[in-house]
Amino acid sequence: MKISPFRIEQYYAVHEFTAPHMLSSSDAESVAVADLLALEPDAAERLFAQRLGYTESAGSPELREAASALYGTTNPGDVVVVAAAEEGIFAAYHALLQPGDHVVVETPCYESAFEVARSAGAEVTRWHRSAAAGWAHDLDALEAALRPDTRLVYINTPHNPTGLLMPRAVLDRIVELCAARGAWLFCDEVYRELEHDPDDLLPAAVDLYDRALSLGSMSKTYGLPGLRLGWLASRDRTALARIVELKHYTTICSSAPSELLSALALRHRGVFAGRSREIVLANLVVLDAFLERHAERLSWVRPNASTIGFVRVAGLEDTATFCEQLVADAGVLLLPGTVYDEPTHVRLGFGRASMPEALGLFEAWIETRS
Ligand SMILES: Cc1ncc(COP(=O)(O)O)c(C=O)c1O
């Protein structure tokens, strides 16, 4: 298998645990184990008694039930647990693709969405969204990219890195286009339930189409990335069985304590989504004022979901040096758009309670430079 280095993860491997002020994270403020255990009276006792044996490869029945409750049409048997979304992307692509298959991937994207498809031997066409068009979804371009035998279409909503939701009509049209070709629709929904207005929640792909896979995760909306736990939901049991076969070669099964804690958190997921939303909305007020003060230099299409947004830095052709200087001088970590092949932008994260402090240091740094 040939696979290129994952640029986002490489950048964070260098800086994430040394830069004192994170201003680009995509996960919401993390949750303490004690906060999880306080949710149900017997939770601590259950965790202490948990035997650290192997678990079922498809996931514990308790967790599959809790995850399937996110959707309208699924049963616990329509869910396979994975070691967070990253394993889900790997397993889904390698389960569904053969060398030479044609795949369309919405870009810019979380890099594994593109690279893992390529590593499976697929021929990958980008369905590109451009900053100049306000990141609008160009459905004509999608139709032009599709072939009669396109095997799979990857989309991501809410979207990394723009923090934008896909309009419902666009999602419906994509389902139609996939159905007309019998193509798989692989929908990365790891930021789902973190719409800034809860009324904007889109249906999950798994509820719209029988050849769809919805990818979910504990990492983002619920602030629990340290559990390393995610899932794939599909009404196609053959695809799920193939994914489990691959999982036998990666992790075999998930971590037993993580499964227990994830099931617990998902049963109370409104608590965590609500907490994350509160932080995000408060931070957006601070960000709106900041972007207004720096409108001649910084701009974005205001995100309507998730913890992240993509900021255009006027006057720079490549934000990589800008970000390196910022972290070296002020210890503030932005993510340069170069890692998304969008070098005029930076990713800004606003899911952490410490965001206003990091933003203040960023602003002071900008002002000393101008
Ligand atoms: C769109 C998208 N998919 C998948 C992942 C991987 O998430 P996890 O931590 O659940 O592996 C990320 C993480 O940033 C992401 O942004």
pTM (two decimals): 0.98
Q: How confident is the model at residue 165 (pLDDT cuts 50, 70, 90)?
A: very high
Q: 338 in a domain, yes or no?
A: yes
Digit-coded pLDDT (tens) for 167-202: 999 999 999 999 999 999 999 999 999 999 999 999
- Which of 230, 246, 268 is where one domain is finished? 268
| Chosen domain end from 268, 285, 312 | 268
In angstroms, how far is the first alpha carbon of the chain from the final one? Answer: 47
Determine, yes or no, domain membership for 68: yes
Q: Is residue 45 part of a domain?
A: no
Rounded Cα distance between 220 and 287, Å, is 20
To test the pocket of ligand 1, the residue of 107, 190, 255 to mutate (highest count of ligand atoms within 8 Å of its CB) is: 190
In the chain, % of residues over pLDDT 70: 100
Q: If you ran DSSP here, which 8-state letter would residue 79 be given?
A: E
Residue bearing the CA closest to ligand 1, atom 14: 26
- The beta strands (E) that lie in 133-229 are given as 152-156, 184-188, 212-217
Residues 20 and 90 in one domain: no
What's the mean per-residue pLDDT of the chain? 97
Q: Which residues lie with the beta carbon below 6 Å from any ligand 1 atom?
A: 26, 84-86, 110, 156, 160, 188, 190, 217, 219, 225, 230
Separation of alpha carbons 183 and 175, rounded Å: 9
**Is 260 in the same domain as 299?**
no
* pLDDT at site 154: 98
Domain extent for 201: 52-268
* The two three-digit tokens of residue 68, written as one number: 């399937």
369 pLDDT higher than 90: no
Task: Clarify whether residues 253 and 289 are in a common domain.
Answer: no
What CATH number is given to the structural domain containing 216?
A: 3.40.640.10
Output the CA angle 294-298-302, nearest 5 degrees.
Answer: 105
What's CA 38's distance to the chain center, in Å? 27
| 220 and 312 both lie in a single domain | no
Q: Which of 268, 294, 327 is the last residue of a domain?
A: 268
- Atom 8 in ligand 1: residue holding the nearest Cα: 85
| Contact present, 204 and 233 (Cβ < 8 Å) | yes
173 in any annotated domain: yes
State the average pLDDT over residues 281-307: 98
- Give me the CATH number covering residue 310: 3.90.1150.10
Instruction: Give a yes or no: residue 204 inside a domain.
Output: yes
Distance between CA atoms of residues 123 and 110, nearest Å: 18
Question: Contact at 8 Å (CB) between 107 and 114?
Answer: yes
pLDDT in tens, 337-347: 999 999 999 99
pLDDT of 39 above 80 = yes
Number of domains composing the chain: 2
Domain match, 277 and 261 both: no
Considering the domain architecture, whether residues 296 and 149 belong to the same structural domain is answered as no
What is the spatial distance between Cα 78 and Cα 234, in angstroms, rounded to a whole number?
5
**What Cα–Cα distance (Å) separates residue 82 from each residue in 4, 90, 270?**
23, 10, 22
In this structure, the answer to whether residues 141 and 90 fall within a common structural domain is yes
CA distances from 175 to 147, 205, 295, 316 (A): 15, 8, 38, 38
How far is the centre of ligand 1, averaged over its atoms, from the C-alpha of 155 (Å)? 13
Q: Are 183 and 329 in contact (CB under 8 A)?
A: no
Assess whether 217 and 155 both reside in one domain: yes
User: 113 with 141, same domain?
Assistant: yes
Say yes or no: 300 and 233 in one domain: no
Could you tell me if residue 291 is inside a domain? yes
Kindly state whether residues 98 and 200 are assigned to the same domain: yes
- pLDDT tens, 113-141? 999 999 999 999 999 999 999 999 999 99
Residues 208 and 168 in one domain: yes
DSSP assignment string, 68-97: HTTSSS--GGGEEEESHHHHHHHHHHHHH-
In angstroms, what is the span from residue 7 Cα to ligand 1's centroid?
A: 14
Quick check: is 22 in a domain? yes
- Residue 44 lies inside a defined structural domain of this protein: no
